[in-house]
Chain A
């Protein structure tokens, strides 16, 4: 991967807010990252940290109301996706940028055959006739490891197991050769044995097709094995970003350090209790402009309670949002 190449997707200072009865929820609050061609970017974070909302914002699919994108830019080849008309963005969704969702059991329409669901996408974006589209769909199912795809394509979703349905989702998402695949916790709802298979399949297919991947997950193990770059999200912000191996080797943000410490390790003997981060993730309703992690942070200082630091850029493209590294006071 050449680092000099221009990114295909640039997310700049994205802010997605939800107005609820309890107050304003800043689900995503100033998130920035770049994605290069063929790169795999991991976004990790706890439930509710804004991972999924970030990516739904990318294809402008935030349910509105109550949600709205309050600021920022999402540049796809330099064009702002947020400024596109509904029909313009529809030509990108499922075509250039496609998505896989967490729960394969509910993400396919139970009333339509797999063929119908796959063909409609291919016909829509690739201007193929139905027959050619069906051949293409069968080919994709075969690539995704569905046995006897020619026969299985006419089945309904309930005739597939969870893992097989996720394979169908992957085949469907990649059927238009997208440039970017957003996988929102693609393995969280699956058996552990199937998880590895699905991750391998995604990796294999996207490498072969040259697709860039944004992999959303709450599992550091998944990220370690698959991603080039890693973003750690906490309460709507990316607190640390950098090349995966460097972040794992020397995490800078106290939250990242805590996360990595709390991963169970097979190579360390001696037992003992697994370390954990004390406290609970914050309630993001009407959150003040503080560092959202300070109540749980061992290194918290007075300033952490009053202001969020400007993220500091390190070498190798590492970015950290923490007062420990910030020069401004």
Chain B
């Protein structure tokens, strides 16, 4: 088990390395550059700027230099926020995104599982119909529609919540509600449907019939015999859900003007802030591979049939 974990962990390094390489190529292939927005810069100043950021060197040399810096934990200086390094910006913005993302994931998992179980146990009742309808809406309506619609009603029409902004304002924690709700809805829907389907499947299994034939009460059958098997697909979905939530933060933070990493990605992309884009990509991908690693480990504990070698 320990050996498996170490090996699995080490295999994450080439994955991240590949992501960095591809991101580097894509970012550099995009037309324009970090200084092209500044009109009328004298050519000698532009040259100086490029020299300062080593952009006059051949691209391959720049790549090696960048990878070397990243390996040492240095994401480089930001091109746009002149007095900040990317490390400093990430340090500011990451906790914000993590807070929204974690809350959204927790809500999606817990509310989704609860709704899924309730729907499965009361199949074809109003609970089932209501929660599965909400799930379908959550899955099929994109974030950039859900967000503004919530804002229109909750903030503008009924004035219950602030339209945008972040902690530290007058609204306090109320600002968190809409972004988290928007971000969690698709995954809540998906996890709800997944749980419902797999609880229904496990309920039909032979070993559940055995459990009932042993005289166990429905509560024990449910908690001890059904849930463990039924929640496995949900656990394996948490990996992809986390990826989706990370990309979701880009949209949600932009809609609600939240100073998180997601909004930096958008701004950095517009500004061709090479180091900031790459820095964000690296942070996101490291989070993502770590999350998948964690899911693999947890899965191994839940399903005794999986053995790690």
Contact = CB atoms under 8 A, between A and B. Distances in A.
Interface stretch (A96-104, A135-143, A144-152, A203-211): A96-104
Contacts of B304: 110-111, 113, 156, 158
Contacts of A124: 214-216
Interface centre among B210, B212, B217 (most CB of A within 10 A): B210
B156 interface: no
Interface in B283-309: 302-305
B305 A93 contact: no
Contact of B215 (A90, A110, A158, A169): A90
Interface string A13-47: 00000000000000000000000000000000000
A94 B229 contact: no
Interface centre among A61, A90, A111 (most CB of B within 10 A): A111
Interface in B176-227: 205-207, 209-217, 220, 224-225
Contact of B209 (A101, A156, A172): A101
Interface string B44-59: 0000000000000000
Contacts of B7: none
Given A94-B215, A112-B225, A107 B210 contact: yes
Contacts of A101: 206, 209-210, 213
A94 B304 CA distance: 26
A20 B211 CA distance: 26
Contacts of B303: 111
B91 interface: no
Contact of A121 (B214, B217, B228): B214
A111 B212 contact: no
Given A107-B207, A109-B207, A111-B228, A99 B305 contact: no
Contacts of B302: 111
Contact of A93 (B207, B213, B228, B229): B213
B214 A98 contact: yes
A98 B213 contact: yes
A109 to B, nearest CB: 4
Interface string A66-104: 000000000000000000000100111111001101010
A262 interface: no
A259 interface: no
Nearest to A156: B304
A106 B206 contact: yes
Given A103-B206, A106-B205, A109-B225, A120 B216 contact: yes
A256 B241 CA distance: 60
Interface centre among A107, A158, A169 (most CB of B within 10 A): A107
A172 B220 CA distance: 17
Contacts of A172: 214
Given A111-B228, A120-B224, A61 B207 contact: no
A156 B305 contact: yes
Contacts of A112: 224-225, 228
A90 B211 CA distance: 11
Interface size class of A (residues with CB under 8 A): 20 to 34
A108 interface: yes
A169 B214 CA distance: 11
A112 B207 CA distance: 11
Nearest to A95: B215
A87 B217 CA distance: 8
Contacts of B305: 110, 156, 158
A6 B116 CA distance: 50
Nearest to B203: A63
A156 to B, nearest CB: 4
Contacts of A120: 214, 216, 220, 224
B47 to A, nearest CB: 66
Interface in A141-180: 156, 158, 169, 172
Nearest to B207: A109
A94 B214 contact: yes
Contacts of A158: 304-305
Interface centre among A106, A113, A172 (most CB of B within 10 A): A106
A112 B228 CA distance: 9
A158 to B, nearest CB: 5
B213 A99 contact: yes
A12 interface: no
A61 B229 contact: no
A291 interface: no
A125 interface: yes
10 contacts: A98-B214, A101-B213, A106-B206, A106-B207, A110-B229, A111-B303, A120-B216, A121-B216, A124-B214, A156-B304
Q: Which 7 A-B pairs have the closest CB atoms?
A: A94-B214, A94-B215, A93-B215, A106-B206, A109-B207, A156-B304, A99-B213
